[in-house]
């Protein structure tokens, strides 16, 4: 366990990435979060890079060289690593308690798979691999799921441009 946060009525538990399976088993067996709703990977490349906009003065300053830019009113909190992997857990009991289990990794690092804890993690993790390029250690079949098998790149990463897919049969080939 690294950090606990409470925002917008939701609890986020940030855990040490190698110990995530342990944390998940504890949450499932001891605390009764028996249902894995969702696994989401988020890319924070360039988070807060737009800087503060020119109109509004804030504690972090005001960029007079860029009036009328579409920057932030206030710089967002920096993130510890590039990627977060969030597991949204739910307890099927009165009150429907929810908790978010979160692990932070850099590009090229891996996360232990949770398929052994919740079989439903199978496709969710494949989607995270396909879209974000997060590798899950020990996943039985970590292949692309939404994109075709020979696709290059991971489309939901921030450095993957929109409209950046190769055009086939374009005449230039």
Partner 1 sequence: MAVAPEQLIYEGTRIPSPTPSVLQVPEDLRASEDILNINFGPNHPSTHGVLRLVVDLHGEEVVGLAAVVGYLHTGFEKNMEQKSWWKAITYAPRIDYLAFQNNELVFVLAVEKLLGLEVPGRATWMRMLLAELNRIHSHLVWLGTAALEIGAISMFWYCFRERDRILDLFELVAGARMHTRYFQVGGLAEDIPPGFFGECAKFVELMPKAIDDYEGLVDRNPIWLERTKSLGLLSADDAIALGQSGPVLRGSGVDWDLRRAQPYLTYDQVDFRVPVYQEGDVWARYRVRMEEMRESVRIVDQALRRMPDGPWIADDRKVVLPPREELHTSMESLIYHFKIVTEGFRVPEGEVYTAVESPRGELGCYVVSDGGPKPWRVKFRAPSFVALQATATCMSGALIADMIAIVGSLDTLMGEVDR
Q: Closer to partner 1 at the Cβ: 44 or 62?
A: 44
Sign of CA dihedral 98, 103, 107, 112: negative
**Closest separation between CB of residue 144 and partner 1, Å?**
8
Residues that bind partner 1 (CB under 8 A): 7-10, 12, 34-38, 40, 42-44, 47-48, 50, 70-74, 76-77, 86, 88, 90, 92-96, 98, 100, 115, 118-120, 122-123, 127, 131, 140-141, 144-148, 155-156, 162
Residue with tokens 């949204």: 88
Closest approach, Cβ 103 to partner 1, in A, equals 14
| Interatomic CA distance for residues 169 and 173, integer angstroms | 7
* Residue closer to partner 1, measured from CB, 37 or 110: 37
In the complex with partner 1, which residue's Cβ is closer, 10 or 22?
A: 10
Shortest Å, Cβ 81 to partner 1: 15
For the bound state, the minimum distance from the C-beta of residue 155 to partner 1, rounded and expressed in Å, comes to 6
CB nearer partner 1, residue 110 or residue 120? 120
Q: How far apart are CA 86 and CA 114, in angstroms?
A: 12
Characterise 132 by phi-psi region: left (phi > 0), alpha (psi -120 to 50), beta (else): alpha
CB of 118 to partner 1, least distance (A): 6
Long-range pairs for 27-30 at CB < 8 Å and ≥24 separation?
27/89, 27/99, 27/101, 28/89, 28/117, 28/118
The radius of gyration of the chain from alpha carbons, rounded to an integer in Å, stands at 19
């Amino acid at each position: 366990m690294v950090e606990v946060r409470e925002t917008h009525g939701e609890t986020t538990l940030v855990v040490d990435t190698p110990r995530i399976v342990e944390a998940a088993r504890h949450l499932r067996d001891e605390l009764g979060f028996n249902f894995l709703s969702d696994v989401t990977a988020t890319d924070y490349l360039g988070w807060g890079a737009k800087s503060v906009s020119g109109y509004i003065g804030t504690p972090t300053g005001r960029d007079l060289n860029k009036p009328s830019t579409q920057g932030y009113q206030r710089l967002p909190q920096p993130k510890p690593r590039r990627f977060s992997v969030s597991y949204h857990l739910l307890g099927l009991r009165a009150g429907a308690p929810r908790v978010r289990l979160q692990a932070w990794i850099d590009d090229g690092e891996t996360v232990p798979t949770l398929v052994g804890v919740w079989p439903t993690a199978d496709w969710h993790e494949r989607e995270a691999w396909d879209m974000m390029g997060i590798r899950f250690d020990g996943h039985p079949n970590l292949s692309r799921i939404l994109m075709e098998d020979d696709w290059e790149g991971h489309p939901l990463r921030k450095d993957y441009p929109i409209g950046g897919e190769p055009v086939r049969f374009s005449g230039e080939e």
